[in-house]
Amino acid sequence: MKLLIIGANGMLARDAIEAFQGSHELVLCDHPDIDIRYIDSVMPFLDRHRPDWVLNCAAYTNVDGAETDRDTAFAVNADGPGILARACRAHGARLC
């Protein structure tokens, strides 16, 4: 099974990588490899890698920055998962 882990440089992803390494084919990516705010970034990435599962570990985690850059925080933390869901549906991949 091929598992795409988005946000692979983060803390949550590191634990997921450790848990799944050896038992799954892992595809690891982080920004700027893929930008979950834009369907035009997500679709070609899924086309290229054809994962069975997508694990979204991407997040805008700068709490202070989110106060001043609300649009980016919302785009990554709210819109991004919706974009991933649509892209996964189109590719027959499961999102978790």
Angle between helices 39-49 and 80-91 (to 10 degrees): 40
Looking at the domain 2-95, which fold is it?
Rossmann fold (3.40.50)
At 72, the pLDDT band (50, 70, 90 cuts) reads very high
Q: What is the DSSP letter of 47?
A: H
- Percent of the residues in the chain that have a pLDDT greater than 70, as a whole number: 100
**SS3 of 64, please?**
helix
For residue 39, the model assigns a pLDDT of: 98
- pTM to 2 decimals? 0.94
- Between CA 74 and CA 11 the distance in angstroms is 20
The pLDDT tens digits of the residues spanning 2-15 come to: 999 999 999 999 99
Pairing of β 25-29 and β 53-56 = unpaired
For residue 5, the model assigns a pLDDT of: 99
- Between CA 33 and CA 4 the distance in angstroms is 12
Peptide bond into 51 cis (omega under 30): no
> Average pLDDT of the chain?
97
